[in-house]
Amino acid sequence: MLSGGDMLIRSLQEEGVDVVFGYPGGAALHIYDAIFRQDKVKHILVRHEQSATHAADGYARASGKVGTVLVTSGPGATNAITGIATAYMDSIPMVVISGQVPAEKIGEDAFQETDMVGVSRPIVKHSFLVQNASEIPEIIKKAYHIASTGRPGPVVVDVPKNTVNPAETFPFEYPKKLKMRSYTPATKGHSGQIKKAVSMLMQAKRPMIYAGGGVVLGEASDLLTELSQKLNFPVTNTLMGLGAYPGNDKQFVGMLGMHGTFEANTAMHHSDLILAVGARFDDRVTNTTSKFCPNAKIIHIDIDPASISKTITADVPIVGAVDSVLKDMLELVKESKETPDETALADWWKQINEWRERHGIYTQPRYNTEGDKIMPQDVIKTLYEVTNGDAIVTSDVGQHQMFAAQYYLFKSPRQWINSGGLGTMGFGLPAAMGAAFAVRDKDVVCVTGEGSIQMCIQELSTLTQYGIPVKIVCLNNQALGMVKQWQDMVYDSRYSEIHYEDSLPDFTKLMEAYGHVGIDVHKKEELREKLEEGFAMKDRVVFMNVYVDPSEHVYPMLVAPEGSMRDMWLSKTERT
Amino acid sequence: MRRIISVLMENEPGALSRVVGLFSQRGYNIETLTVAPTEDETLSRLTVTTVGDDHKIEQITKNLNKLIDVVKLVDLSEGQHIERELMLIKVKASGAQRAEIKRCVDIFRAQVIDVTSTVYTIQVAGTSDKLDAFVQAVGDAAILEVVRSGVSGISRGEKVLSI
Ligand SMILES: Cc1ncc(C[n+]2csc(CCOP(=O)(O)OP(=O)(O)O)c2C)c(N)n1
Ligand SMILES: [Mg+2]
């Protein structure tokens, strides 16, 4: 016989949960007592509930498993909201358990009462309010199932205090199977549609494979790579899809979209067939939808039917799990009597390579390498080399994020962890912490800005407590750089509220106060050496504070509004 | 175009708010909404009328289907269907007006369901258009109160929405 609280924790154990990120409080006290009386589920005490959600999110993105969060009611629950929204936008599997005031007090404006199910409703895949203790095992089972299957997403389980009362006990049995008549995510794609798609692939003259985060989430990178290479088609990844196709392969033309490469965006615009895989034609990719890829037919594979033909109409929609659909496609391609149009492809590659040579960011530096300032692009390139391209890289939001996305050539999925959909500053450090719990044998590095890092900087203390040696590389440009870039480009450099005057902390001293190491990098010549020094300290948290050229912009940049994908700024003065 | 979407969903707390929330969250509009449990008490039947082009309606049905509580749904306007709405309307009925109103009630096959010396309370059932027409026929000056149920609908013939 177990109490509701014990059943809750036992259920987490049954789900194979090894770590929970959380923060206690009144409504969650019974649950925390249940945590105390066991040792299978490890609890990590963060310093702010927002970080608990980002850490669970980073854990989920790095491992492919569901991240778990435990918070108390009221302020604990509302502090978790930003992280839930972040996970929702990027379809990250997460279960958030929130304490709630006792059922009989709900609706009375009780102390620390917030309608968590109501507040979180638009940013969750689903939510549960526990009514009776006896339902706890089944609800937990459902929560993990829903979070991790189909298009993944966060699930909230709100637990009124009376349902976890230690005085009331129940027989515990964890359900083996689930019956959910109203939830049946798509699996296999429609074979007729797949056949049709394959014959279109064989006829394409200027094809593009446009792969997004769905390939990472759907564990389909190997299949995508095999198919792309079998066809010899150019591949571009979205910001969320980086690593889904090896970034250092010659068929990879770089990221597309707002800050995508010239060759990826231009090739998309001129293509005659787009194979979209686990991508959602986000506005940061398409630019003006009415001008999007005017000559392209579109094959769209996604597990979520609502993502298909939402902003851009698909000619061949295929609803299904990306791995299953790509597998079927690959088989058909192998069996097919038809082969890709080699002459057309040779011409297409010639054209793409010419674009690469002309304005590509990988063929020659597209930034000033002459001056004595450290260029942010060089920091990422050096980071790539110092870490052998093997690190797990998390990022915050801003210019540094885009430089990391452009210049760190991610070789494998789950290596690049960023808040793509919501663009949450403050995500990077706690996400790195979560990733470090999932992956022990790799460097985990957070690329951040001096603005973003201060949004969840309190987690430096959590890193101390649990001895988690993440590395932090701060592209310190002394400003909210991305906002500054827009103010330069759109507001005649009227810098509204993007500087901190002289208020930035001495990061090195701050690190020392937390028991970590800080390294300042001022000079170009010392960049590599200092990064090497930082990464050599395997078991320490090291903050590498790199002073970069504060006037640098991220390019290419799509021209908006009204631009198509081929309309880009290539530097402060050049436009396509 | 106006559409009638009929939804079978789990009769669970919070299910209705998820449907309503979806509409406001995604900027879809709701013209009418009705909901009640069915003969199977674990299921509710919800009918919503909305307007939108084909693309919007496709997005609405896809997103409704994604809600975990939604078991099944049908866009009734895609096929032959019957729609009904119920209206309770209280009108001034004194003097010469009384006979006039009664005539209207007969023409529309409505029923007077409560009477005082100066007021009729009338029940009208039918399509929303018919209810609109009745309101117009009676005229603003006479109307004291209008209560409409919102649309319920069902497919014609053999077709059923069930699990
Ligand atoms: C929580 C949050 N608030 C505001 C923004 C808007 N925003 C986007 S980038 C940015 C500047 C980030 O500055 P910093 O972290 O220093 O990065 P930089 O662009 O300078 O590399 C801001 C304010 C955001 N994305 N997230
Ligand atoms: Mg900055």
A400 lines ligand 1 (CB under 6 A): yes
Confidence class of residue A119 from pLDDT cuts 50, 70 and 90?
A: very high
Phi, psi of A343 (to 5 degrees): -65, -45
A21 beta partners: A44, A69
CA A272 vs CA A209, A250, A338: distances in Å: 11, 21, 18
What CATH fold (topology level) applies to the domain A2-170?
A: Rossmann fold (3.40.50)
Instruction: State the architecture of B2-79 in CATH terms.
Output: 2-Layer Sandwich (3.30)
Torsion of CA B51, B53, B57, B60, to 10 degrees: -80
Q: Quick check: is A111 catalytic? A: yes
Say whether A576 sits in a helix, a strand or coil.
Answer: coil
Whether residue A303 is predicted with pLDDT greater than 90 in this model: the reply is yes
| Tens of pLDDT, residues B74-95 | 999 999 999 999 999 999 999 9
What is the least distance, in Å, from the CA of B72 to any CA of chain A?
7
What is the pLDDT of chain A when averaged over all its residues?
A: 97
Of A122, A131, A182, the CB nearest to B21: A122
What is the distance between the alpha carbons of residues A470 and A472, in angstroms, rounded to a whole number?
Answer: 7
The model's pTM: 0.97
CB of B163 less than 8 A from some CB of A: yes
Residues of B in contact with A127 (CB under 8 A): 14
The complex's ipTM works out to: 0.94
CB of B21 less than 8 A from some CB of A: yes
A396 lines ligand 1 (CB under 6 A): yes
Q: Quick check: is A161 catalytic? A: yes
Residue ranges of domains in chain B: 2-79, 82-152
Please give the CATH number for the structural domain made up of A191-359: 3.40.50.1220
A481 lines ligand 1 (CB under 6 A): yes
Q: Closest Cα partner for A257 from A535, A19, A570, A568?
A: A568
Residues of B in contact with A131 (CB under 8 A): 13
Closest alpha carbon within chain A to B18 = A121
Residues of A in contact with B66 (CB under 8 A): 304-306
Using the mean position of ligand 2's atoms as its centre, give its distance from the Cα of residue A362 in Å: 24
CB within 8 Å: A182 and B58: no
Give how far the C-alpha of residue B47 lies from the chain's centroid of Cα atoms, to the nearest Å. Answer: 7
Ligand 1 nearest atom to the CA of residue A448, by list position: 15
| Tens of pLDDT, residues A203-241 | 999 999 999 999 999 999 999 999 999 999 999 999 999
Do A123 and A154 meet the contact criterion of CB atoms below 8 Å apart?
A: yes
CA A43 vs CA A67, A147, A569: distances in Å: 12, 20, 48
pLDDT score at A345: 98
Q: Which two tokens stand for residue B144?
A: 């004291």
Whether residue A413 is predicted with pLDDT greater than 90 in this model: the reply is yes
Spot the catalytic one: A116, A482, A511, A565. A482
CB within 8 Å: B59 and A127: no
Whether A376-554 and A191-359 are alike in CATH topology: the answer is: yes
Residues of A in contact with B52 (CB under 8 A): none
What is the distance between the alpha carbons of residues A300 and A281, in angstroms, rounded to a whole number?
Answer: 10
Give CATH superfamily name and number for B82-152.
ACT-like. Chain A, domain 2 (3.30.70.1150)
Whether B82-152 and B2-79 are alike in CATH topology: the answer is: yes
Q: Quick check: is A411 catalytic? A: no
A450 lines ligand 1 (CB under 6 A): yes
Whether residue A306 is predicted with pLDDT greater than 90 in this model: the reply is yes
Q: What is the mean pLDDT of residues A277-289?
A: 97
To test the contact with chain A by mutation, choose from B66, B162, B163 the residue with the greatest count of A C-beta atoms within 10 A, namely: B66
Q: Which helix (H) or strand (E) holds B44?
A: strand B43-51
Using the mean position of ligand 1's atoms as its centre, give its distance from the Cα of residue A401 in Å: 10
| Tens of pLDDT, residues A354-373 | 999 999 999 999 999 999 99
CB within 8 Å: A118 and B17: yes
Q: What is the mean pLDDT of residues A320-343?
A: 97
Residue nearest atom 3 in ligand 1 by C-alpha distance: A425
Closest alpha carbon within chain B to A119 = B21
Pick from A394, A395, A397 the residue to mutate for probing ligand 1's pocket: most ligand atoms within 8 Å of its CB: A397
Residue ranges of domains in chain A: 2-170, 191-359, 376-554
Whether residue B66 is predicted with pLDDT greater than 90 in this model: the reply is yes
Confidence class of residue A311 from pLDDT cuts 50, 70 and 90?
A: very high
- For domain A376-554, the question of CATH label 3.40.50.970 is answered with yes
Using the mean position of ligand 1's atoms as its centre, give its distance from the Cα of residue B69 in Å: 37
- Mention every residue, 6+ apart, whose C-beta is less than 8 A from residue A392: A62, A414, A415, A417, A432, A435, A439, A442, A443, A444, A445
Whether residue B163 is predicted with pLDDT greater than 90 in this model: the reply is no
Q: Which ligand is nearest to the CA of A452?
A: 1
Q: Contacts for A100-106 with beta carbons within 8 Å, 24 or more apart?
A: A100/A27, A100/A73, A100/A129, A100/A158, A100/A159, A100/A160, A100/A161, A101/A27, A101/A73, A101/A160, A101/A161, A102/A160, A102/A161, A102/A162, A103/A131, A103/A160, A103/A162, A103/A163, A104/A162, A106/A160
CB of B136 less than 8 A from some CB of A: no
| Tens of pLDDT, residues B5-58 | 999 999 998 999 999 999 999 999 999 999 999 999 999 999 999 999 999 999
Q: Which two tokens stand for residue A496?
A: 């509204």
